[in-house]
A and B are shown apart, each in its own frame.
Chain A
Amino acid sequence: TQLLEQSPQFLSIQEGENLTVYCNSSSVFSSLQWYRQEPGEGPVLLVTVVTGGEVKKLKRLTFQFGDARKDSSLHITAAQPGDTGLYLCAGDRAGGTSYGKLTFGQGTILTVHP
């Protein structure tokens, strides 16, 4: 079982639609990151959230970290074909011997059709 459950795994939408990707866990994270990956390349960081309840906006992308620091969401407004890619959430587990361990969700493959 994945420590970070990401949903949906696949999302196919039309240009201009809104969408939300979820990242859920029963574990607490010190921080949570969202990455975007294009075919043939490594993931690239979009945002890091570190405070429970935190909301960050990056143009049409809104990221939220849950109050209990166990979940996060990525919302895209008015999706464009250039948003197409694999979106990954990654959590840094809080405290103790978990320091340095980074856990990724399964990823969400987003396709935005013109």
Chain B
Amino acid sequence: EAQVTQNPRYLITVTGKKLTVTCSQNMNHEYMSWYRQDPGLGLRQIYYSMNVEVTDKGDVPEGYKVSRKEKRNFPLILESPSPNQTSLYFCASSWTSGRALYNEQFFGPGTRLTVL
């Protein structure tokens, strides 16, 4: 089954304790992206990756790191989480077409993170 998986689905942690949220897709997509969703703000892009070893900042990258060592995986790293990073996080993947993202983004089920 074609899918994007995220782990964990739920996480409660404390300020400053490093954590990683994993994301994996089995569709051989070049493009992968991380978003956070907060009430009234929609989804905001954190980081994205056009292909292996190619990553770039989205609109809200502060406090986050990513890596893309393999095509299928795109982990999101919070080196020192703070309460303002409490949010619902989504990973997504897509094919790309030329210079525009015409293709459907497939989203994972989300990770609800609470930082105390």
Cβ of B87 within 8 Å of any chain A Cβ, yes or no, is: no
Cβ of A82 within 8 Å of any chain B Cβ, yes or no, is: no
Contact B48 A104, beta carbon cutoff 8 Å: no
Beyond A41-B110, A42-B92, A45-B105, whether A103 also contacts B45 by CB under 8 A is yes
Cβ of A106 within 8 Å of any chain B Cβ, yes or no, is: yes
Contact B42 A31, beta carbon cutoff 8 Å: no
Bound together, the chains give a CA A101 to CA B56 distance in angstroms of 9
Pick the contact of A102 from B45, B50, B108, B110 — CB < 8 Å?
Answer: B45
Which residues from chain B contact A101 at a C-beta distance below 8 Å?
45, 48, 56, 58-59
Q: Which of A13-21, A52-60, A92-100 contacts B (4 or more CB under 8 A)?
A: A92-100
Q: How far is the CB of B92 from chain A (nearest CB, A)?
A: 7
The number of chain B residues touching the other chain, given as a range, is 20 to 34
Q: How far is the CB of B43 from chain A (nearest CB, A)?
A: 4
Contact B56 A88, beta carbon cutoff 8 Å: no
Contact A50 B109, beta carbon cutoff 8 Å: no
Contact B102 A31, beta carbon cutoff 8 Å: yes
Contact B109 A104, beta carbon cutoff 8 Å: no
Contact B101 A43, beta carbon cutoff 8 Å: no
Bound together, the chains give a CA A17 to CA B104 distance in angstroms of 29
Which residues from chain B contact A106 at a C-beta distance below 8 Å?
40-42
Bound together, the chains give a CA A99 to CA B54 distance in angstroms of 13
Beyond A42-B107, A42-B108, A42-B110, whether A100 also contacts B101 by CB under 8 A is yes
Beyond A42-B108, A43-B107, A102-B33, whether A50 also contacts B90 by CB under 8 A is no
List residues of chain B with CB under 8 Å of any chain A CB. Answer: 4, 31, 33, 35, 40-45, 48, 50, 56, 58-59, 90, 92, 96, 99-105, 107-110
List residues of chain A with CB under 8 Å of any chain B CB. Answer: 2, 4, 6, 9, 30-31, 33, 40-45, 48, 50, 88, 90, 92, 94-95, 99-107
